[in-house]
């Protein structure tokens, strides 16, 4: 399955994660829900749904962590019968991203966590210098930007 990225510096660290961790699906997004990279998805609508859900879960779990523990929860793991999901915040010099991955029985949570740490380090090393202060999470051009990113990922740009 092909990997597609909106910004090229993301590709190498993400590709390494997918290979090493044996991930079936991987998604890197802005906390607002804007997609930055995907692996394993076939349709734009699936990416859009997964991004919206991941951003929502991340925001909810962060707030739950703040209320329970005084600081946001950084990671979430859910084990299904045959597949598992891992959702976590990936901090980089370009800001915080949300990372979602789906893995099967060939991998394990331990491996995913291990290679997620390497992914975060890889993204930090590969990130180009910040050019400008990032805008608010829900900027006025959110939908336009979202559609542009999906078009880039699925070859309609």
Partner 1 sequence: MIARPFASILDGLIRQRWVTAALVVSERDGIVVESNLQIGQSGDRMAALAASLYRKARLSASAAGLGAVSFMQLEAPAGRICAVGGGDLVLVVVAEPAVNVGLVRVEMLRAVGELLAIGGEAA
Residues near partner 1, by CB under 8 A: 107-111, 113-114
Query: How far from the centroid of its chain's Cα atoms is residue 9's Cα?
Result: 14
Helix, strand, coil shares of the chain, percent, nearest 5, are: 45, 25, 30
**What is the DSSP-derived secondary structure letter of residue 128?**
P
Q: Which residues pair with 97 in a beta bridge?
A: 90
**Shortest gap between Cβ of 90 and partner 1 (angstroms)?**
18
**Shortest gap between Cβ of 58 and partner 1 (angstroms)?**
22
Residue 52 near residue 45, CB atoms below 8 Å: no
CA distances from 118 to 6, 7, 13, 16, 98 (A): 21, 19, 8, 9, 15
| Nearer residue to partner 1 within complex by CB, 34 or 107 | 107
| Nearer residue to partner 1 within complex by CB, 46 or 118 | 118
**Shortest gap between Cβ of 114 and partner 1 (angstroms)?**
5
| Nearer residue to partner 1 within complex by CB, 57 or 111 | 111
| Nearer residue to partner 1 within complex by CB, 79 or 125 | 79
**Shortest gap between Cβ of 100 and partner 1 (angstroms)?**
19
Residue 23 near residue 39, CB atoms below 8 Å: yes
Helix axes 142-153, 44-69, angle to 10 degrees: 120
| Nearer residue to partner 1 within complex by CB, 56 or 104 | 104
**Shortest gap between Cβ of 89 and partner 1 (angstroms)?**
18
């Amino acid at each position: 399955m092909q990997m597609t990225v909106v910004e090229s510096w993301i590709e190498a660290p993400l590709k390494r994660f997918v290979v090493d961790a044996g991930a079936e699906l991987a998604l890197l997004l802005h906390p607002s829900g804007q997609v930055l990279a995907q692996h394993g998805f076939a349709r734009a609508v699936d990416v859009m749904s997964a991004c919206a859900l991941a951003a929502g879960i991340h925001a909810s779990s962060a707030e739950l962590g703040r209320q329970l523990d005084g600081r946001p929860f950084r990671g979430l793991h859910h084990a299904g019968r045959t597949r598992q999901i891992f959702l976590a915040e990936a901090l980089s010099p370009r800001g915080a991203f949300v990372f979602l991955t789906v893995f099967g029985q060939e991998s394990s949570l331990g491996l995913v966590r291990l290679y997620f740490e390497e992914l975060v380090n890889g993204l930090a090393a590969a990130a180009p210098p910040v050019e400008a202060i990032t805008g608010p999470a829900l900027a006025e051009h959110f939908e336009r930007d979202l559609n542009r990113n999906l078009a880039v990922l699925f070859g309609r740009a």
